[in-house]
Every structure is written in structure tokens, then in C-alpha cells.
Amino acid sequence: MNGSKSASMQESLRICPVLCIVVPCFNEEAALEETAACLEACLSDLELKGSIAASSSIIFIDDGSTDATWTSIEAISWHSSRVQGIRLAHNSGHQNALLAGLEYADADAVITIDADLQDDVGAISEMVAAYCEGAEVVYGVRECRDTDTRFKRITAEGFYHCMRFLGVNVIFNHADFRLMSRRAITALLRYPEVNLFLRAMVPMLGFRSAIVTYSRSRRLVGESKYTPLRMLSFALTGITSFSLRPLRLITIVGFVVAAMAALVGLWAGVAALTGSASTPGWASLLLVISFLGGAQLFAIGVVGEYVGRIYLETKRRPRYEVEAFSGVAYNKVKLDRIRE
């Protein structure tokens, strides 16, 4: 009786949840005003329709920007009681900025969305609807990649296929535009790792989920903060945080090469004994030696990636540092946190 009562109470809470939208920003001064206006309009519209509670809010996380992003967030939050800002003391990376938002958001459900509004704000109402129907996580999934450059499309899709091949559960064409319920966030915050790769961590939680598809537009202002080198580092974090298969593949390749070497050795021995050995060519010898040298260096590099990440994990450094808050809605509890 008690159980069904609390279950129905939970269901009734979902009729009009408090929603928080978390927006990570790194040097996004050019995009912020429009983004804030667009998200505020979206929240007001949902509130009018009775889909979300009046206390729903937006948190901009300034990830250590070097331009006027923080000044802009402060100005927006002074004018709107819905908007709050958190400034991180240094650039901690997109994933850590998202985590800071998830930790500080005080809501029943939190949606994370990029500051450049490439993700479709119109999909937010569908996400909220899926949440009200019981989904703990709602993934925003891109319908197609025709607004990406050729390079980005090939590398991104190749990466999703590679992750699947390595046995990692990722949602194809889903990045970090998603809704998470309080329950899912609480579960996620129990993961203490510093090498964050949220798009694989969230599916790992295993809660009931739903998918909302949308078409992603081009970035209208500013530039992508993901340089090819950053993308590569992010991809390596994803692979090394979730799959041991590269290490196993190296073991298998090593075993196969050693077995082949043993067979060739056997053949050479027999040829020498039967007197049918011809003078060995230096070119083929050089080729084998340099190939194996390269393969060994590559293998050491892969092992090094894992060791490096273990090194970072063992340090247990904080994942981000908060420098300042802004916004009238910031209550005493949150101010106390910064003094701690």
C-alpha cells in the first residue's frame, strides 16, 4: 500500500516537473544573448502549457572563458530570475562543465545543451513529455549529419562504429543533448572518475530511456571549440575509459606474429638442414624488422594511453573548481558550498 502510494506520488510529481537547462560555455560571448533569449522563451512556453513548474531555470557554466562570456552571463542573470551562472576557475573541458551543471542543478529533470544552439530547442518539449511518461534519460539523437563538414561526419560516424566494435554501448549520433531525471543524475554522480565520457557513462546507468530525434543546425556564431587534436583526445578518453579490447587485440596480434615467426624459423631450419636455403635478401629482413619495431612502438603507445589515464585517476584531483556564482536565485545553500 505504502509502495504504491509513493509510486503514485512520484508519478504525480512528473506532471509538472521543475526543469533545469544546463549550458556549458567556453568563449561563447557571441552566442550567449540569443541562446539565453531562446531558452527562456522555451521555458516560458512550456510553463504556460503546464508542462513544467514555474521555478524551472537555466544555468550557464562558464568553463574558464577568456572572452566576455562571464560578464555576459552575469548581465543576463541580473535581468532574469530564471538564469543563473557558475564560473569555473579554469578551462576544465566540456564534460567537466556539464558535470558541474548536473551537480549544482536543483531540479527534477536536467537537460544539457550546447551554447551555440546547434541542438534543436524545439525538441525540449518532446524530451519533457518522454520524461513525464516515465523515461529517466531522454537522448537527443541527430537525424542526419548534413550540416557537418565532410571531415567531421566521417570522423564522428567512424568513431561511433569503432566504439561499438570495441564493445562500448553508445547511442549512435547522440552527443550531449539529453535529459536526465534526478534519479539518473544521483546515480551518475556516484561515478568518481576524472576521465569523463558522459555519452557512454549515461547509457551504462541502465535506466529506462527514450530517444527524441532532431536535426542539428550549423553553428551560427563563433567557432567550434573542438579542434582535431581535442577530438582525438576525447575519442581516446572514450575508448580507454570503457574498453579493454585494444589491449586484448594487441595480445592477439603479438601471439599471431610470434606463432608466424616460429613457423618461419622452423622452415628456415629445415631449409638449412636439407641444403635448400638460398641467400636471404636484406630488403625483406629490413621490412620485417621495421614493421615489428613499428608495431611494438604502437603497442607501447596504446598501453601508455591506459597507464596515463590510470595515473590521472589515482591523483583524485577535483574535476573542476568553482570561482563564482551569479543570479538572484542562488540561495544560501549554494553560497555556503563555495565558502566550504
Binding site for ligand UDP (CB under 6 A): 24-26, 28, 63, 91, 93-94, 97, 114-116, 118, 224-226
Choose among ligand UDP, Mg ion, none what residue 62 binds, the Cβ cut-off being 5 to 8 Å by kind: none
Angle between helices 228-242 and 198-205 (to 10 degrees): 30
CB of 60 to ligand UDP, least distance (A): 10
Q: Of 94 and 142, which CB lies nearer to ligand UDP in the complex structure?
A: 94
Q: Of 114 and 120, which CB lies nearer to Mg ion in the complex structure?
A: 114
CB of 93 to ligand UDP, least distance (A): 5
CB of 321 to Mg ion, least distance (A): 24
Ranked by CB distance to ligand UDP, the top (closest) residue is: 224
For residue 204, what is its C-alpha cell? 551504462
Residue owning grid cell 568518481: 192
Choose among ligand UDP, Mg ion, none what residue 226 binds, the Cβ cut-off being 5 to 8 Å by kind: ligand UDP
Q: Of 87 and 142, which CB lies nearer to Mg ion in the complex structure?
A: 142
CB of 29 to ligand UDP, least distance (A): 10
The residues in 109-128 that bind Mg ion, with binding defined as CB under 5 A, are 114, 116, 118
Q: Of 63 and 116, which CB lies nearer to Mg ion in the complex structure?
A: 116
Binding-site string for Mg ion from residue 63 to residue 102, where x marks contact by CB under 5 A and - marks none: ----------------------------------------
Q: Of 101 and 327, which CB lies nearer to ligand UDP in the complex structure?
A: 101
Contact 50, 89 (CB under 8 A): no
Q: Of 17 and 24, which CB lies nearer to ligand UDP in the complex structure?
A: 24
Choose among Mg ion, ligand UDP, none what residue 142 binds, the Cβ cut-off being 5 to 8 Å by kind: none
Position 331, amino acid = N
